Amino acid sequence: MTKRSPMAWLLVLLVTLGAVGSLRAQEATPEPPRTLRGVDVNSLSATDVLVPEVLSVREHSTTAYTQGLILHAGLLYESTGQRGASTLREVDPASGAVLRQVNLPDQLFAEGLALVGDRLIQLTWTSGIARYYDRETFVLLAEERYGGQGWGLCYDAEVLWMTDGSSTLFIRDARTFDLLETRPVTLEGTPIDRLNELECVGEHLYANVYQSDYIVRIEKSTGEIDQVIDAISLWEQELSAAERADLEPRDEVLNGIAWDPENEVFYLTGKHWPKLFEVRFVAP
C-alpha cells in the first residue's frame, strides 16, 4: 500500500473540510422570500397559503391572450386581449378546441368576462366600453360606457364585481353597468393592487394578481384577503422548459380562473399558455 506524506493528508483534510463547510453553508442559506406586492407571503400570520393540486391537464390555444374565463353548462367562455387580436370564444374544455369565436374591432383590447343570465358581458381595457352579447348566438346586443380602465369582471347573481388594476373593487349594476359602490382590498392591512381576472364563488372573489404567480381569495363583505394561492408550481413544474421559453415571463403570465360548482374544481390558465389546468386548492 502506498503511504501518503503528511502534506498529502493535510490537503485531503482541507478539501474535505471545505466541502463540508460549503454544504452546510448551502443548507443554512434561506430561500429568498416569496412576496406578493411587497408582502412576505411566508410571514403571513392570519392568512392561509394554499397551492394548486393538479387533477388534469388540458390543451389551451396559444393564440388566446386570456383575460376572462367562465365555465357554464360544460363549456368555457373566454375573453382574449390585445388590439387587433381580441376575441370572445366558446371553448371545449376537454380538447381545447375553439367552437365559436367573435373578433372585436381592432381598436378594442378585450378584458374580463361575466355571464349574467343569457348575456355575456365583456370589458375593454382603456376604451370604457362594456359589450353585452347573447350567449347562444354571440350577437352583440348593447354597449355600456364606464370611466377608467377595465380589467377583471364576475357576477355573483346579484351584482357585477370589477377590477381596474388598482387595489379597489367596483360593484356595478348588471343591467345598466352603473357604479353602485367601491371596496378596498387589503392583505393583513396592506393594500394589494394589480387585481386582474375575477371569479365569483359564494361569499368570495378569486383574483389573479397581474405579473405574479398568485391568486387571492377576497371576502366580498370586507375586501380582506383571507387566502393566498401560490401557483408558481404551474409555471415551474407543469410547463416544460420549451413551453416557458416561448412565453414572456413578465407579460404572458398566469391569468384566467373558472369555477366548476358541480365538481368543486377550478380551471386555471395563462396568457398564451398551451395548457389548461383542472385544480383544487390545498395545503402545501
Go through the chain and tell me how many residues it has.
Answer: 284
Residue 174 placed within a domain:
yes
The number of distinct structural domains making up the chain is 1
List pLDDT tens digits, range 204-241. 999 999 999 999 999 999 999 999 999 999 999 999 99
User: For the domain that residue 180 is a member of, what is the CATH number?
Assistant: 2.120.10.30
Query: Which residues in the chain come in under a pLDDT of 70?
Result: 1-33, 46
Cα 29 to Cα 14: distance, rounded to the nearest angstrom: 22
Residue closest to 57 by CA, chosen among 270, 281, 268: 268
Residue 243 placed within a domain:
yes
Q: What is the pLDDT of residue 6?
A: 52
Cα 126 to Cα 109: distance, rounded to the nearest angstrom: 7
CB of 196 within 8 A of CB of 208? yes
Cα 169 to Cα 156: distance, rounded to the nearest angstrom: 14
Element (H, E) at 123: strand 119-124
Residue 23 placed within a domain:
no
Q: How many helices (H) and strands (E) does the chain have?
A: 3, 24
Domain range for 249 is 34-282
Q: What is the pLDDT of residue 26?
A: 37
List pLDDT tens digits, range 148-157. 999 999 999 9
In terms of phi and psi (left: phi > 0; alpha: psi -120 to 50; beta: otherwise), the region of 32 is beta
Residue 27 placed within a domain:
no
